[in-house]
């Protein structure tokens, strides 16, 4: 009997460019499978990716999600081994963290611990980096704990902030780092 594949649930709220990269990276994998795309926003781009790829989706209900362990049983029954937050903007409830100890990871578009915390996502992060005149930014991939952007760092990559950068140009450079590194870091971690 072949080994059971490692099953990922990809949580995303937005466009889903990272989800698209991750799905593409593991398409031919004999070890890792993107089993489920979990989204909290109706109409989010990531749902179109899921449809195109034929991956099952779950659209989260806010009240149910924050009630605690409401989705835990469902994800356990689906056999999910790792939860990957790829642009997911809700805080993960403690019950979910307890059910997947050290098996939930997040990507953040800055060099944590700087520029993290509540409200620090997407464009807001890049605006703050530019306002403070930073010379570099980057990405952080980290374990998820009960505080925003706080768990143990697993990987960081850096890029320069160029003179004349706007939040958009900086976001593009940071996103390129995400697309290059995130799938590979996931593979190393879960294998």
Q: What is the contact surface with ligand GAR in residues (CB under 6 A)?
A: 12, 14-18, 86-87, 107-109, 121-122, 125, 175, 178
108 is catalytic: yes
Q: How far is the CB of 57 from ligand GAR (least distance, A)?
A: 15
Measured at the alpha carbon of residue 146, what is the angle toward residues 140 and 151, in degrees to the nearest 5? 30
* DSSP letter for each residue of 106-171: EEESS-TTTT-STT--HHHHHHHHHHTT-SEEEEEEEE--SSTT-SPEEEEEEEEPPTT--HHHHH
Active-site residue among 108, 126, 142, 181? Answer: 108
The residue among 55 and 77 lying less far from ligand GAR, judged by its C-beta, is: 55
Q: How far is the CB of 30 from ligand GAR (least distance, A)?
A: 25
* CA neighbor of 114 nearest in space, from 133, 90, 94, 88: 133
CA 27 vs CA 1, 16, 35, 141, 146: distances in Å: 21, 16, 11, 22, 31
The residue among 14 and 183 lying less far from ligand GAR, judged by its C-beta, is: 14
Q: How far is the CB of 167 from ligand GAR (least distance, A)?
A: 12
The residue among 109 and 151 lying less far from ligand GAR, judged by its C-beta, is: 109
Q: How far is the CB of 151 from ligand GAR (least distance, A)?
A: 12
Written as six digits, the tokens of 65 are 């999600």
Q: How far is the CB of 92 from ligand GAR (least distance, A)?
A: 12
Look-up: residue for tokens 């320069």? 160
Relative to beta strand 136-143, strand 56-59 is unpaired
Residue of minimal Cβ distance to ligand GAR: 87
The residue among 6 and 92 lying less far from ligand GAR, judged by its C-beta, is: 92
The residue among 66 and 76 lying less far from ligand GAR, judged by its C-beta, is: 66
State phi, psi for 77 to the nearest 5 degrees: -65, -30
Give CA–CA dist 154/132, Å, rounded.
Answer: 25
Q: Report the catalytic residues.
A: 108
């Amino acid at each position: 009997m072949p080994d059971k594949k490692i099953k990922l649930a990809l949580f995303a709220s937005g466009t889903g460019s990272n989800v698209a990269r991750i799905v593409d990276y593991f398409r031919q994998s004999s070890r890792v499978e993107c089993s489920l795309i979990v989204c909290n926003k109706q109409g989010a781009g990531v749902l179109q990716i899921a449809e195109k790829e034929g991956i099952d989706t779950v659209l989260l209900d806010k009240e149910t999600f924050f009630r605690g362990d409401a989705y835990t049983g469902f994800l356990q029954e689906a056999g999910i081994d790792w939860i990957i937050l790829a642009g997911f903007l809700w805080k993960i409830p403690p019950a979910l963290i307890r059910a997947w100890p050290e098996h939930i990871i997040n990507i953040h578009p800055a060099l944590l611990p700087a520029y993290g915390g509540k409200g620090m996502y997407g464009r807001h992060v890049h605006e703050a980096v530019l306002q403070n005149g930073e010379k570099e930014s980057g990405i952080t991939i980290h374990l998820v704990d009960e505080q925003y952007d706080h768990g143990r760092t697993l990987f960081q990559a850096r890029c320069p902030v160029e003179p004349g950068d706007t939040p958009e140009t900086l976001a593009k450079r940071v996103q390129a780092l995400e697309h290059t590194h995130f799938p590979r870091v996931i593979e190393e971690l879960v294998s």
